[in-house]
A and B are shown apart, each in its own frame.
Chain A
Amino acid sequence: MFNKLEQVKHLPIRFGEVARYVIVPGDPNRVPIISKYLDNVEHQGQEREFNASRGTYKDVEVSVVSTGVGCPSTAIAVEELVHIGAEVFIRIGTSGAVDGSAKKGDMFIATAAVRDDGTSKQYMPIEFPAIASHDVVINLINASKSLNIETKVGICQSKDSFFGEVEPERMPVSPYLDYKWNAWQKGGVGASEMEAATLFTLSQIRKVKAGAILAIETSDEETIDKMTNIVLESIYYMEKEKSHD
């Protein structure tokens, strides 16, 4: 698919320039914000919506690469990152509330995602579950506990149409959107976002690990700060576990 020595098609980084652990926000503007928490930071460049930087946290190498909005660009980012050496992906994102189990201002660790996206279906038949790696979920939970930050844990929904969620009545398929939304509410979906389903499906296929933490209806500095701390601490735990194996 790619020549290892060449730059991959979309990302501004190439083989050897990515850490084992990659934090994947959607927004390229969030890359410098998250990178502030790293030591020895190097901004590696930006192509399209893919902004990349690298640094260290407690001596563990960590990359931060944005995916852009939605599963199509996320799939490109994940494929190319796996190809150049990434092994663990943690998404930091924002989301909407669904069934009320997580409310505005909460932080939500996703265990799995509803595949209301188009991209993951071009990888696996729809019956296949989009599941976060158990390791990543447990380490995110443990990190939030040790930092004394309260988080919710559960299933999120990944959609392709942002406005189909926030203004379903405006859409020609509004009865279909309402019917599904109602099922997600009754079935126990806590958050709605736009990238996790493909991130989880693809990571299972490519045999890498993935997880996600989402802020519910907020993107204020304090929440991003807490989520970044949880994610970095979980990465540190995973690296420690790895060296024990």
Chain B
Amino acid sequence: MTKKDGVEEAIGGLLDAYDDDKEAIQYHVQLKKGDISDFVILPGDPGRVEFIAEHFDKAELVAENREYKTMTGEYKGRPVTVTSTGIGCPSTAIAIEELTNVGARTFVRMGTSGAMQDYTKVGEKVIATGAVRYEGTSVQYMPIEFPAVASHDMVLALKDSAIKNKIDYHLGIVQSKDSFYGQHNPENMPIADELKQKWNAWVKGGVLCSEMEAATIFVVGSYRKVRTGAVLLVAGDQAKGESLTKEEYKTNMSESVNMILDSSLDIKVEV
């Protein structure tokens, strides 16, 4: 691309990715090549970025715009980055696209979730092998028949790390939804019947927990040929009316971060 017209200017960074101008600052995340490492941890909440970076050996703030806050640093000599995605698949897809444009090659979501099985207990960690695509973003990339699947080598690295760190984990499929309140108060929704019917199918099918970003991370990751994974802390159980206290929550989040950071050491640095 030699000349940019107005429209191209507006989404400049995204287009630049396809003509090797990696110096351009990406439109939403406000990052350029060199600002991030190849390994990116993705929490939903920008307020959690600093907390995660406290577990690095060193870290600095590199960008902050809208819900996207990014810090880059090192863990045991391995470069690592943390970027928040905001809630939901639409903002998450933007983060994956723009981060990939400037050098990200592995994404691990770190989030919270609601229990869906009797045996997924509050405080346990779920390593997602795949996700139910009950969201609207990934279908604007790939037809719905395509599986939202995590990368097998990332799943293995996370599993090994959980075992090594003696963390209680489950491995399996999670559900990604768009409507938080549709999950928590389905009866209030005009489409209550559909919500309940599908929920029952997921539960019968062995889906472990419910969250809001993994499906798009996995589908867009397959398309962009990057490595993906997700660790979801079971923070609540609506059927049992249980949730973590503030103190438990923090301890458990620390466990998730350490588990992901340890797994990063199994992933070869890709520059």
Residues of A that sit less than 8 Å from B by CB: 111-116, 123-131, 134, 137-138, 141, 153, 155, 180, 183-184, 186-189, 197, 204-205, 207
Contacts and interface: CB of A to CB of B under 8 A. Distances in A.
B205 A205 contact: yes
A141 B222 CA distance: 19
Interface residues of B, number: 32
Contacts of A197: 145
B223 A127 contact: no
B149 A204 contact: no
A134 B155 contact: yes
**Nearest 8 CB-CB pairs, A to B?**
A112-B147, A112-B149, A129-B130, A129-B147, A131-B130, A115-B145, A127-B133, A188-B222
A138 B171 CA distance: 14
Contact of A112 (B130, B171, B198, B207): B130
Given A124-B205, A138-B156, A205-B206, A129 B143 contact: no
Contacts of B180: none
Given A114-B147, A134-B159, A187-B146, 16 more contacts: A112-B130, A123-B205, A124-B205, A127-B132, A128-B132, A128-B202, A129-B131, A131-B147, A131-B173, A134-B171, A180-B143, A186-B223, A187-B142, A204-B205, A205-B204, A205-B206
B191 interface: no
Q: Is the interface of B mostly helix, strand, loop or mixed?
A: mixed
Contacts of A130: 147
B152 A126 contact: no
Contact of B222 (A125, A138, A155, A204): A155
A38 B258 CA distance: 45
Contacts of A188: 222-223, 225
A129 B149 contact: yes
Tell which of A114, A125, A141, A197 has the most Cβ of chain B within 10 Å.
Answer: A125
B134 A127 contact: yes
A155 B149 contact: yes
A124 B149 contact: no
Nearest to B144: A126
Nearest to B197: A125
Contacts of A184: 146
B201 interface: yes
B141 interface: yes
A125 B204 CA distance: 12
Contacts of A128: 132, 173, 201-202, 205, 207
Interface string B198-242: 100110111100000000000100110100000000000000000
B53 interface: no
Nearest to A184: B146
B126 interface: no
B84 interface: no
Interface string B170-193: 010100000000000000000000
